[in-house]
Structures are given as C-alpha cells and as structure tokens.
Amino acid sequence: MIMPAPINIGFIGGGPRAESLFATTIMNKRFENEFVPACMMDTSEQATKNWQYKVDATYTSLDKLLKHEALDAVLILTPPSTHAGIAKRCLETGLDTWSEVPMATKLDDLFPILDAERGNKGKKGKFAFGENACWYLPIQFAAKLVDDKKMGDLFYTEGEYHHSVEHYMIFENYSGGKALDPEFTKDVHPTWRATLPPVIYGHAAGMALYVINRQDPKDRPVQVCGFGNMKMLTKFNNQNFQIAMLQTKNGVICKFGSGFVLPNNEVRHAMFWATKCYFDATISGQSKYYLHLVPEDKARYPDRHNVKGKEITEQDMIAGGATSAEGGHGGGDTLMMAAWLASLRGKKPYDIGGVKGAEMTAAGLVALESITQRKMMEFPDFTK
C-alpha cells in the first residue's frame, strides 16, 4: 500500500504552546511520518534560534514564512490579539490553518477569516479552531451520549474554565523565574494575560457549545448576557472574573465563565442537563463525574426519578465509547491533532471549522460587550 506523503507544517510562534504542539505532532509516535516540521516564524530572534534544529527553516516575518516553498498547513500559536490577522493572511495564501484560541479578540475580525476561508473553493485552505477543551475525556463522553441518542434533548449546559494565572501575568514571573504577587509588587511588567478579559479566552463556552452542536450542528447562540468583577486583583484595571449566559436558537441555555485570579489554582467543570440525562463533570483537581441516565422505558414520571444515578470513572467513560489518548491537556491535544490530520487527509471534516470556531469565540466577545453595556446582546449569524 502506498503511504500518503507527509504534510509539511509551519509553526507560527515559538513559545511554550508551540513547543507543546511540536511534541504532539512531531515527537508523538501516533503521528510518525504524518507531519514534517517545515518551518517556524517568531518575531523574536531568540525564539528562532531555539528552533533552528527542529525545523528546516526559521523566519522572523510572516511574509517570509508564507513564501516557504514546501508548506501545506500552519499552526498559529502567537498571542491572542494576533490570531485573526495571521489566520486571514494564511487562508488567503491557500494554506490549511489551525489556530489556537481565541479565533480573534474583536468581533469584527471574525468575518474576514470566514470570507478568506470561503474564498478557497477546493480542498485546501480550510480553517480549524484549536479548542482543545472539547477533546477532554468527559466532553467526548457527553458527545458520545448525544451520538448514541441516550442524552435526550439538551436544555441546560455549563462550561467553566477558571485558571489562576499570576505566573503568566507578569514577565518577572513568566520569563524571570520569580514567584511574585502581581497585586502587591511594584514596577512589574504585564504580559497580554494581565489585560485579556478572561471570558474571551475560550475553553468555557467551547466545552458546552461542542456538545450542543453535536446534537444539532445548525443550532447557534442568539442572545448573550455577561457579568464580571475584579475582586482578587485590581492593579491592571481589568476584570479577572467573568460569567455569562447564552441561549441558542433551539432554546438551550448555557452558562459559561472564566477567572484568571483565584484563591485556589483552578476549576474546570462541565455539566449537561437533558430530557433523559444529567451529567456533571469536575475535570480538574479532585476529578469527579456523576451520571444520571434515564432509559427509554423509564422516561415518564415517577419512573425517571426512581432511576439511580451514580458516580462514574474515566474508565467507565472509555468503556462507554468516549475517545481517549495520552498527551497534553489530558490527551486532548493528541485527539485534536488526530482530528485535524483526518481533515487534512480528506477523511473527515474537522470538528470545529470556521463558523463554529467563530461562534465559540464570539460567545465571549459578545458577553464582554454585554458586560460593558450592561444589557442583553443579540448574537451575530456567522452562517451568512
């Protein structure tokens, strides 16, 4: 059997996340002979120096990388404010483009990405959204319950991604190896994480919308409202805890939110309520999963209340058909890259393309606008 040619990929950005996905795509035996690290680009000469033995060529400008002769696809791994502009350029060049979250930091920047993707009529030049939280084992399990028609009709979901990031907020900690409290230390230098509104970072809404879209790919958010505060840290005059609610066209209600400064380290949590199911997943720290599944013949009251819910394990979810793997983000990076590879090979569309990526990103962006204007906001339709 003739093996397909390896896919030449370029890494745009050379920081820790790029290092992580280099390990996933290039060093993971699962992808042996599938990807070739053709090139990388970073505006930092030190970063390109660190990568000189990992790739065939390094560049300090996007223009030069886009002229690299043997290049099939790129991964965008730069700070969030740069994602949209880079994605648009890469798609216009006809490159398959995978982007880290968020897809953009401004609502108006989402539409040019979709226009660029739609301008590519062939099989090349497709956009893939890197919402790795959707490949967490519990989220894949919830999606499998939907696929197997066991969940029933979703009516409420939650996605929470609270991660205290003081280490990443100031260069003194992130690059200098210190452990300073940003609030009480004078003359610190903030990174982009210090001023990024947490609700637009992603992950939280993504986990919930992924399962909602699995039930009905045409469903989409239509209204959003948000709330926020800065109780834990005020120095950078930026809300560091934000919660939002959205409702979809099908009437599903979704609560999502993120906090960047916390008394504890992190909370990652998802919950799905449907007409035949209640599934609650605490993913971080002391992981705990609870499932109440109502069989078809017990769906009426009072029978459904007599069904016994139970705590389940990760092995139970795997036995139930949820996909799993070893690797970063609980194996999510491996599964995500496998999904991208399948799409690049033309075997299966990627789970989160341009439109769904725009919806996941816009959930946070519209929530932020709601917080600013203190009112419910209508949600744009990215399918048009």
pLDDT in tens, 197-236: 999 998 999 999 999 999 999 999 999 999 999 999 999 9
Task: Show which of 132, 161, 178 is a domain's final residue.
Answer: 132
In DSSP terms, which residues pair with 35 in a beta bridge? 7
Task: Indicate if 57 and 127 belong to the same structural domain.
Answer: yes
For the chain, the distance separating the N- and C-terminal CA atoms, rounded to the nearest angstrom, is: 42
pLDDT (tens digit per residue) in 295-318? 999 999 999 999 999 999 999 999
How many domains does the chain contain in total?
Answer: 2
Residue 72 and residue 79 in contact, taking contact as beta carbons nearer than 8 Å? no
Length of the chain: 384
For residue 1, how many other CB atoms are within 10 A of its CB?
3
End of a domain among 111, 132, 153?
132
| 246: CB partners within 8 A, 6+ apart | 205, 221, 222, 223, 224, 225, 253, 254, 256, 363, 366, 367, 379
CATH number of the domain encompassing residue 36: 3.40.50.720
CATH number at residue 159: 3.30.360.10
Domain check: are 155 and 304 in the same one?
yes
Query: Do both 252 and 219 map to the same domain?
Result: yes
123 plus 172 within the same structural domain:
no
- Do 230 and 261 reside in the same domain of the chain? yes
Which of 67, 100, 132 terminates a domain? The answer is: 132
Largest CA distance in the chain: 67
**Does residue 302 share a domain with residue 222?**
yes
Structural domain boundaries enclosing 85: 7-132
Same domain, 183 and 123: no
149 and 273 housed in the same domain: yes
Alpha carbon 15 to its chain's center? 18
242 and 158 both lie in a single domain: yes
Strands 277-282 and 221-229: unpaired
Query: What is the per-residue pLDDT for 246?
Result: 98
What is the phi/psi pair of residue 365, to 5°? -65, -40
pTM: 0.97
Please tell me whether residues 97 and 24 are part of one structural domain: yes
Predicted confidence at residue 122, as pLDDT, reads 78
Task: Write out residues in the chain with pLDDT < 50, as ranges.
Answer: none
DSSP 188-229: --B-HHHHS-GGGT-SHHHHHHHHHHHH-TT--EEEEEEEEE
Q: Is residue 333 part of a domain?
A: no
**214 and 319 in one domain?**
yes
Same domain, 97 and 225: no
Question: Do the domain assignments include residue 341?
Answer: no
Is 193 domain-assigned? yes
* pLDDT computed for residue 2 by the predictor: 80
